[in-house]
Amino acid sequence: MDTTTLLTTIATSIDFDRSAVLWALIVGVILAFLLGAGMGANDVSNAFGTSVGSKVVTVIQAYILATIFETLGAVLVGWSVTDTMRKGIVDTSLYSNDAMELLVGQVAILGGCAAWLMLATAFHMPVSTTHSLMGATLGFSLTRKGFQGVQWKMLGKIVASWFVSPLLSGTISAVLYCLVDHLVLRREHPLESGLHLLPIFYFACITFITFAVTYDGSKLLYLDRLAVWQSILIALGFGIVTALIIQFIVKPRLRARIANSSSNHNIKQMETVESETEKKIDVESQTTKRSSGIKSFFNWLLPDRTRENCPETVRLFGTIQLFTACCAGFAHGANDVSNAIAPLAALISIYKSKNVQQNEEVPIYVILYGVLAICVGLWLLGHRVIKTVGTEMSEINPARFD
């Protein structure tokens, strides 16, 4: 620590009276819980809404899975995101002579966010906690320090991600769906085609998630000490092991279970196949009449919305959809849980150290407190947004939206 920082710390320590701001700490803890509860009722429900809407899981099962994977994501990956949100948006050095001002500001941020999330949940509106937190943080900083109090470079990156993320996710989703449509749903035996792709799918997902966890990961588990090549090797190892388990253990059982459950519907399945064949012939005859070019290319590329999907294949996609929902819960825990507890982490750090530097690591109990609040909100109010996302926006089955 250099001389300037040391003198600043000493000065703020002398002027800082903990007893005078104990109320702020208590109110902040309460508001942080309300914020977490609002996020659990709103954001977490987004991740599992489609799985409930397509009847892959019940609401209670979704709650249990969300609780598990939100906790894992927050504990394993959430540390670095918390640091960005509590120190990366506002220039905390501007408050070095008045730590109390920054401390009380965190209470205002928590209050503004919590109020908006609760209001949005009451009206069944799925909203973003990150956007809410950013707006509250900017509102506080602009009020107290004007434009100089904002880290514009970091803010620009975050705001850019709000536009890039939906574009990228939408593009990737469309590409993946078209691939699944061509490689699985259009095949003569879509169930077998889907089973062949299953190990590859799980290998890619588990490898990516494991790398995200191990690379610059949890300080609690000392994962931050791993080199990049070590993280890559660990991720590949987990991915390969998962693919082998899927190939030799899960696939045979899944095939048998699907065959068992559909054994009483063979006649109906034959009728479906015949109707699909007639539709394909009809579509092909119509396509030949169309002029060649971009229109005919897109007719071939894009899925046929009139096609009836094989029921067994839909059941197969049910297991995949459940897995992807768990991944979404994990990612949400890694990112948004950390966002929610960032003001509380800053509040506790300032209160304990009597300065605005916030050099201490985020305590594990703060993260677990945020997870607890989120889970309480999910279990109490999550059904509201789950209903909106899962049933009111569109009709969903595990293979497609209608």
Residue-averaged pLDDT of the chain: 79
Amino acid residing at 13: S
Q: What is the pLDDT of residue 235?
A: 95
Q: What is the pLDDT of residue 91?
A: 81
Structure tokens at 76: 């394993």
The Cα 201–Cα 196 span in angstroms is 10
pLDDT tier at 265 (50, 70, 90 boundaries)? low
Taking 3-state DSSP, the helix, strand and coil percentages for the chain, each rounded to the nearest 5, stand at 80, 0, 15
Least confident of 92-96, 116-120, 279-283, 351-355: 279-283
pLDDT tier at 81 (50, 70, 90 boundaries)? low
pLDDT per residue over 158-194, tens digit each? 889 888 988 998 899 889 888 988 899 888 889 889 9
Look-up of token digits 């509860």: 37
Q: What is the pLDDT of residue 84?
A: 64
Least confident of 17-21, 114-118, 259-263, 311-315: 259-263
